[in-house]
């Protein structure tokens, strides 16, 4: 069926930056700049500056940023890594595929890691924490870093949904050993396919990730220094991302405007729980990767939205630890479980038209009349 308001609108997105994107692709193709050329170096430098760190390294996905972070940090068999269940499954996979053991804890009411549960999850075997900055809002890294320091733990930030988010001066992806970003098309900075990056201030991590993403190959001396992977960010993608990064501050402003409009239009509906508004939470600067509302009548409401032509997604209707194949069913996480039964993600992207925002609000009001 044809939606009245789509969940994302890639054609509209590219229409607005078409000539610049075309120019970047033309330049790469006409010069044959396809792998690890200037466009990648330039984008990495710009991204590092944006995140406020020494280094950014392009990778083929956010998933690989997580995987390679733990690997380069030496996390492996016998180690425990604490993270949340309320996340995209790749966060947990990165632990399992490094042969370590995931310890899942609950989230707080704002859907970020419940820091008060962290201490109890840490054992003698714990080596790392992966806070997930979900929906464009940061986990309180000041608190996470403090606990990590006390217990001598590595912190890998899953910042895949939070490029540009901050708490005060603390930027997402800027204070962990690494920050992991995704450029999946629907992400706040999306490329035309898959892509990701890792940020760090650590020289040794930078050197190791550079090797791990490129078969362990040190190009200037022709040496193989370790076994590695093929996890490079394509040069064409880097060229496009470099262009888009310049628009990102404006796009974030627009996302926050849309969040304010949703907030204003929906706050009087008693059956809905809204995310924290853009001006509601002190020094939190949320970038609204997603706008996630909650309703006890979720399934009925979601069907109504669909019937009225509003495309939504549910992230996630069944928590990771309830999928038997993942072997995590021993965890009992009541807040995560409740969130999974009630969440709906509404359309949220800079290209949304005013009428579309108004229409989504009207449909939600109509349901609750
Ligand atoms: C998107 C996402 C990832 C994975 O990124 P990919 O680029 O799709 O591999 C990891 N964690 C979270 C929280 C994400 O939203």
Q: 281 and 310 share a domain?
A: yes
Pocket of ligand 1 (CB under 6 A): 61-63, 87-88, 90-91, 132, 158, 160-161, 182, 184, 194, 196
Q: How far is the CA of 181 from the centre of ligand 1 (A)?
A: 7
Q: 212 and 334 share a domain?
A: no
Which of the four pLDDT bands, split at 50, 70 and 90, describes residue 330?
very high
**Ligand 1: which atom is nearest the Cα of residue 64?**
9
Q: Going by DSSP bridges, is the β-strand pair 126-129/154-158 parallel, antiparallel, or unpaired?
A: parallel
Which helix (H) or strand (E) segment is 182 a member of? strand 178-182
Q: Is residue 16 classed as helix, strand or coil in its secondary structure?
A: coil
Q: 185 and 264 share a domain?
A: no
- Helix ranges (H only) for the chain are 10-15, 18-31, 38-51, 62-72, 90-96, 118-121, 141-151, 203-212, 235-266, 298-307, 334-342, 354-368
Structure tokens given for 165: 């988010």
Q: 236 and 314 share a domain?
A: no
**Ligand 1: which atom is nearest the Cα of residue 63?**
9
Overall average pLDDT of the 201-213 stretch: 98
| Within a domain: 258 | yes
Return d(Cα 213, Cα 29) in angstroms, integer. Answer: 23
Structure tokens given for 105: 């804890």
Query: For residue 203, how far is the Cα from the chain centroid?
Result: 24
| Within a domain: 5 | no
Q: 200 and 279 share a domain?
A: no
| Within a domain: 290 | yes
- How many domains, the chain? 2
Overall average pLDDT of the 101-124 stretch: 98
| Within a domain: 3 | no
Q: What is the mean pLDDT of the chain?
A: 97
Q: 53 and 190 share a domain?
A: yes
**Ligand 1: which atom is nearest the Cα of residue 183?**
7
Ligand 1 pocket test, pick from 90, 234, 345 with the greatest ligand atom count within 8 Å of Cβ, gives 90
pLDDT of residue 1 exceeding 70, the answer is: no
Q: 149 and 252 share a domain?
A: no
| Within a domain: 4 | no
Q: How far is the CA of 99 from the centre of ligand 1 (A)?
A: 20
278 contacts 260 by C-beta, under 8 angstroms? yes
Which helix (H) or strand (E) segment is 84 a member of? strand 80-84
Q: How far is the CA of 130 from the centre of ligand 1 (A)?
A: 13
Q: 238 and 254 share a domain?
A: no
Residue nearest to atom 2 of ligand 1 (CA): 160
Q: 366: closest CA among 273, 285, 304?
A: 304
Q: How far is the CA of 336 from the centre of ligand 1 (A)?
A: 18
Ligand 1 pocket test, pick from 88, 289, 292 with the greatest ligand atom count within 8 Å of Cβ, gives 88
Residues whose CB is less than 8 angstroms from the CB of residue 155 and which lie 6 or more positions away in sequence, other chains included? 128, 129, 130, 131, 141, 144, 145, 148, 175, 176, 177
Return d(Cα 364, Cα 302) in angstroms, integer. Answer: 10
Q: How far is the CA of 45 from the centre of ligand 1 (A)?
A: 22
Half-sphere exposure (Cβ direction) of 221: Cα atoms closer than 13 Å: 6
Q: Token match 């890294």: residue?
A: 141
Q: 308 and 226 share a domain?
A: no
Q: 305 and 334 share a domain?
A: yes
* Portion of the chain with pLDDT greater than 90, in percent: 98
Return d(Cα 86, Cα 105) in angstroms, integer. Answer: 9
Q: 191 and 275 share a domain?
A: no
307 contacts 5 by C-beta, under 8 angstroms? no
Return d(Cα 173, Cα 156) in angstroms, integer. Answer: 8
pLDDT (tens digit per residue) in 80-98: 999 999 999 999 999 999 9
The β-bridge partners of 343 are 294
CATH number of the domain at 342, please: 3.90.1150.10
Q: Between vectors from CA 121 to CA 118 and to CA 125, what angle results, nearest 5°?
A: 125
| Within a domain: 1 | no
pLDDT of residue 281 exceeding 80, the answer is: no
State residue 77's pLDDT score: 98
CATH number of the domain at 65, please: 3.40.640.10
**Ligand 1: which atom is nearest the Cα of residue 133?**
13
pLDDT of residue 364 exceeding 80, the answer is: yes
| Within a domain: 14 | yes
pLDDT of residue 62 exceeding 90, the answer is: yes
Which residue segment(s) compose the domain that 108 sits in?
Answer: 10-242
Residue nearest to atom 14 of ligand 1 (CA): 160
SS (H, E, C) 139-169: CCHHHHHHHHHHHCCEEEEECCCCCCCEECC
Return d(Cα 140, Cα 170) in angstroms, integer. Answer: 9
Q: Where among 242, 263, 293 does a domain terminate?
A: 242
pLDDT of residue 368 exceeding 90, the answer is: yes
Q: How far is the CA of 198 from the centre of ligand 1 (A)?
A: 12
| Within a domain: 181 | yes
Q: Where among 194, 209, 242 does a domain terminate?
A: 242
**Ligand 1: which atom is nearest the Cα of residue 182?**
7
Query: For residue 255, how far is the Cα from the chain centroid?
Result: 15
Overall average pLDDT of the 181-193 stretch: 98
Q: How far is the CA of 90 from the centre of ligand 1 (A)?
A: 6
Q: Where among 198, 224, 242 does a domain terminate?
A: 242
Q: 17 and 98 share a domain?
A: yes
Q: How far is the CA of 182 from the centre of ligand 1 (A)?
A: 6
């Amino acid at each position: 069926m044809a939606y009245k308001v789509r969940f994302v609108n890639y054609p509209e997105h590219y229409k607005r930056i078409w000539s610049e994107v075309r120019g970047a692709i033309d330049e790469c193709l006409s010069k044959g700049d396809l792998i690890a050329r200037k466009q990648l170096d330039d984008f990495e430098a710009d991204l590092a500056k944006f995140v406020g760190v020494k280094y950014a390294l392009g990778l083929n996905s956010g998933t690989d940023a997580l995987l390679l972070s733990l690997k380069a940090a030496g996390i492996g068999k016998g180690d425990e890594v604490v993270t949340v269940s309320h996340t995209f499954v790749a966060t947990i996979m990165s632990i399992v595929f490094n042969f370590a053991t995931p310890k899942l804890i609950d989230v707080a009411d704002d859907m970020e890691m419940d820091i008060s549960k962290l201490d109890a999850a840490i054992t003698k075997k714990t080596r790392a924490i992966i806070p997930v900055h979900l929906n464009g809002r940061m986990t309180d890294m000041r608190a996470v870093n403090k606990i990590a320091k006390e217990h001598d733990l590595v912190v890998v930030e899953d910042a895949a949904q939070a490029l540009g988010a901050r708490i005060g001066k603390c930027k997402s992806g800027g204070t962990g050993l690494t920050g992991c970003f995704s450029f999946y098309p629907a992400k706040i900075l999306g490329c035309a396919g898959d892509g990701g990056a890792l940020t760090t201030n650590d020289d040794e991590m930078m050197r190791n990730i550079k090797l791990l993403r490129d078969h362990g190959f040190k190009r200037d001396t022709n040496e193989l220094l370790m076994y590695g992977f093929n996890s490079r960010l394509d040069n064409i993608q880097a060229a496009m991302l470099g262009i888009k990064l310049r628009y990102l501050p404006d796009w974030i402003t627009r996302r926050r405007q849309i969040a304010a409009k949703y907030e204003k239009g929906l706050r009087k509906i008693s059956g809905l729980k809204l995310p924290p508004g853009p001006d509601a939470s002190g020094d939190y600067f949320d970038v609204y990767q997603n706008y996630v509302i909650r309703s006890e009548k979720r399934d009925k409401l979601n069907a109504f939205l669909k019937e009225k032509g509003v495309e939504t997604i549910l992230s996630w209707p069944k928590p990771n630890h309830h999928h038997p194949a993942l072997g995590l069913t021993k965890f009992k996480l009541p807040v995560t479980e409740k969130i999974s039964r009630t969440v709906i993600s509404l359309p949220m992207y800079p290209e949304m038209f005013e009428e579309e925002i108004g229409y989504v609000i009207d449909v939600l009001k109509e349901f609750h009349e």
